[in-house]
């Protein structure tokens, strides 16, 4: 059956609070540059009080990715939990305005919509402190079978390994997708996530067709060097797409290695969302049946767009950018 | 007595929702490009549903101006009404993070924090639809005498002529400021505001030392051409600072006219906040006793910064920009 959706994403529904910060600010608050740290309500309030004035924008890793798929002109759906509050309505609006189907019912309860405080240093690196709030309470019941079964690829966000309850949602989604003859993709999300959940992630890779990781995450997962980690992942997943910052990416299957360069960027302003948009390009390409090197190049193109400005999602139409780079993308 | 604050601003406390839009979108929703229209809750919801995905940022005309004064290294205070909700806390955080004193108690009641939906067309022009919400309910009692009496200039936002109750707050602030030997400034805000409240604004100018306007607002106020309007305003206010977009500005007193050029901008991205930041530069200069042409140049410099990116407030330090332009600004 033809897929109604190119990609269905499942992730932590998060609104980003993005502000400029100095290296001294990171040091003072004991934040490891480039990482994502989970914080409770009290830590969240204290850090927010100390942060510079910022802007708010819908984020969440898989949320950014499906927004990117929408920007490529793809058909996407999203499953994630917001609260019934102002930021939750902002998140839902932005999802739908990007053409993404989003109808997970908002949480009724005391938790607010999750926020990620993103401190961006002058080198463009982002350091995130996330208070999951309602995102934490995504339930198995929120995984709507008709959405997963209709998506060419279901894309799972590794961050969801942190809330204990959401892992059941992953298992359900993977079973539904494979039951319908679809593919399952996952991103490892963050090297600290990998450290916290190494065994569970390794086990889960057995039910995954495509894995996304950056160098740090991949080497953390296999506790070895880059080349050995690449060899290890080949035995576990049909496809691994590994990003290497300015060195581009590597797409690895059992019998091929495709090295894809990064796309040029005039100035790196804010790396928030780089990996998410790379995944958007690759997933969109896979859903449309493009050759792997082409999938990687769409990923590079989308990543280059998002790091050239503040904010986690594309501001320009990725479809237009791809078209002007010579791609002909069907609707 | 030395002023504890360079500027105290009173205005509609608003969070902006900023999104890209086409000219066709403006036409379809009958929005006059470049204007500010007030909308009720129902219209607000309908327009938001139709808008593109956006970003949220603290705004409000006088709010932007005092944030700009803070960015120049000035001491500023703000009086305005938010609700006790997520966007209200964002507004308060950003104000304080900009170094601005802000302690107006949030509204307890059903109204939410005011929002302005800003549709930015490819030419960089912004068209605003504002749902005032809690901002509407700023009361005379919120005008804290100790703040106004300690500010070299009190800056009033013409938009506050729309909510009937807030005009009393203006009268109180003007009386307090003059009673303490301070100066009062006002911005006419928008030509539709001027049309709605021409007589009241003309009467109020008698209690104002400095008036800010753009060409359209000034000619709307006096219902005449630009030169005649300039002549008319000279007789009413000690100083008028009139902005003319890319033609820069004119500062007019009873016996002098200073023409100030606009500062160069590589690319105009979003004109939101241009007038607000111009006012920030001029007010900061006035508070520090700079000659009028210097005040105007600081205004040009601040306006150029804010129109070169998305969002209503400076992203770069205006103090650093001024310093690199040869100014030596005392703390």
d(CA A93, CA B46): 12
What is the CATH superfamily name and number for domain A5-12+60-110+132-324?
Answer: Ribokinase (3.40.1190.20)
What average pLDDT does the segment B285-307 reach? 97
Strands B183-187 and B151-157, bridge-based pairing? parallel
pLDDT in the model for residue A232: 96
- The long-range contacts involving A179-182, CB below 8 angstroms and separated by at least 24 positions, are A179/A149, A180/A1, A180/A148, A180/A149, A180/A150, A182/A3, A182/A148, A182/A149, A182/A151, A182/A152, A182/A153, A182/A154
Q: Is the pLDDT of residue A252 over 80?
A: yes
A86 touching B (Cβ < 8 Å): yes
The minimum CA-CA distance between B146 and chain A, rounded to whole Å, is 25
Pick from B54, B67, B98: CB nearest A94: B54
A112 touching B (Cβ < 8 Å): yes
- Which chain A residues contact residue B86 at CB under 8 A? 85-87, 112-113
pLDDT in the model for residue B310: 81
Cα nearest neighbour of A51 on chain B? B97
Given pLDDT bands bounded at 50, 70 and 90, which one contains residue B235? Answer: confident
Strands B257-260 and B249-252, bridge-based pairing? antiparallel
pLDDT in the model for residue B162: 87
Given pLDDT bands bounded at 50, 70 and 90, which one contains residue A140? Answer: very high
What average pLDDT does the segment B192-198 reach? 94
Given pLDDT bands bounded at 50, 70 and 90, which one contains residue B330? Answer: low
Cα nearest neighbour of B52 on chain A? A97
Cα nearest neighbour of A310 on chain B? B310
How many A×B Cβ pairs under 8 Å?
A: 61
**What CATH class does B5-11+60-90+99-106+133-324 carry?**
alpha beta
pLDDT in the model for residue B331: 58
- Which chain B residues contact residue A95 at CB under 8 A? 53
Closest to B120 (Cα-Cα) out of B245, B22, B47, B16: B22
A54-101 pLDDT per residue, tens: 999 999 999 999 999 999 999 999 999 999 999 999 999 999 999 999
> 């790396």: which residue's tokens?
A271
Contact B311 A52 (CB under 8 A): no
A84 touching B (Cβ < 8 Å): no
Do B268 and B288 touch, CB atoms closer than 8 A? no
What average pLDDT does the segment B252-273 reach? 93
Pick from B51, B55, B87: CB nearest A86: B87
Question: Percent of chain A beyond pLDDT 90?
Answer: 88
Please tell me chain B's helix, strand, coil percentages from 3-state DSSP, rounded to the nearest 5.
40, 20, 35
Return mean pLDDT, chain B. Answer: 95
A278-299 pLDDT per residue, tens: 999 999 999 999 999 999 999 9
A270 touching B (Cβ < 8 Å): no
- Which chain B residues contact residue A16 at CB under 8 A? none
Cα nearest neighbour of B316 on chain A? A20
Closest to B135 (Cα-Cα) out of B276, B8, B313, B14: B14
pLDDT in the model for residue B78: 98
Least confident interval from A315-319, B153-157, B300-304: A315-319
- Which chain B residues contact residue A311 at CB under 8 A? 55
Given pLDDT bands bounded at 50, 70 and 90, which one contains residue A142? Answer: very high
What average pLDDT does the segment A5-11 reach? 98
Do A184 and A209 touch, CB atoms closer than 8 A? yes
- Paired with A57 in beta bridges are A16, B55
Contact B53 A93 (CB under 8 A): yes
Strands B114-120 and A55-58, bridge-based pairing? unpaired
A109-126 pLDDT per residue, tens: 889 999 999 999 999 899
B49 touching A (Cβ < 8 Å): yes
B56 touching A (Cβ < 8 Å): yes
Cα nearest neighbour of B312 on chain A? A55
Contact A97 B53 (CB under 8 A): yes
What was the ipTM of the complex prediction?
0.90
Strands A151-157 and A183-187, bridge-based pairing? parallel
Cα nearest neighbour of A53 on chain B? B94
Q: Is the pLDDT of residue B1 over 80?
A: no
Do A33 and A26 touch, CB atoms closer than 8 A? yes
């Amino acid at each position: 059956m033809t897929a109604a959706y190119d990609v269905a994403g499942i992730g932590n529904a998060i609104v980003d609070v993005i502000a400029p910060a100095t290296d001294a600010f990171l040091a003072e608050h004991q934040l490891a540059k480039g990482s994502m740290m989970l914080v409770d309500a009290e830590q969240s309030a204290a850090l927010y009080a100390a942060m510079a004035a910022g802007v708010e924008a819908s984020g969440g890793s898989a949320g950014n990715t499906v927004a990117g798929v929408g920007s490529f002109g793809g058909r996407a759906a999203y499953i994630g939990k917001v609260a019934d509050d102002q930021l939750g309505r902002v998140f839902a609006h932005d999802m739908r305005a990007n053409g993404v189907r989003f109808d997970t019912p908002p949480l009724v309860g005391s938790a607010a919509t999750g926020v990620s405080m993103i401190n961006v240093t002058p080198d463009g690196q982002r350091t995130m402190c996330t208070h999951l709030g309602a995102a934490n309470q995504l339930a198995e019941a929120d995984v709507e079978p008709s959405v997963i079964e209709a998506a060419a690829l279901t894309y799972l966000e590794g961050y969801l390994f942190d809330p204990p309850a959401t892992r059941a949602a992953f298992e359900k989604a993977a079973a539904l997708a494979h039951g319908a003859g679809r593919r399952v993709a996952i991103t490892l999300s963050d090297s600290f996530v990998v450290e916290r959940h190494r065994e569970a992630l390794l086990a889960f890779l057995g039910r995954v067709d495509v894995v996304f990781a950056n160098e740090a995450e991949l080497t953390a997962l296999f506790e070895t060097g880059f080349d050995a980690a690449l060899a290890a992942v080949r035995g576990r997943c049909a496809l691994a797409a590994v990003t290497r910052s300015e060195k581009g990416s590597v797409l690895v299957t059992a019998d091929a290695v495709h090295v894809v360069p990064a796309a040029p960027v005039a100035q790196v302003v804010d790396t928030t969302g780089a990996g998410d948009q790379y995944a958007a390009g690759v997933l969109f390409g896979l859903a449309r049946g493009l050759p792997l090197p082409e999938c990687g190049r769409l990923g590079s193109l989308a990543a280059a767009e998002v790091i050239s400005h503040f904010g986690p999602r594309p501001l320009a139409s990725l479809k237009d950018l791809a078209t002007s780079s010579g791609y002909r993308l069907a609707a």
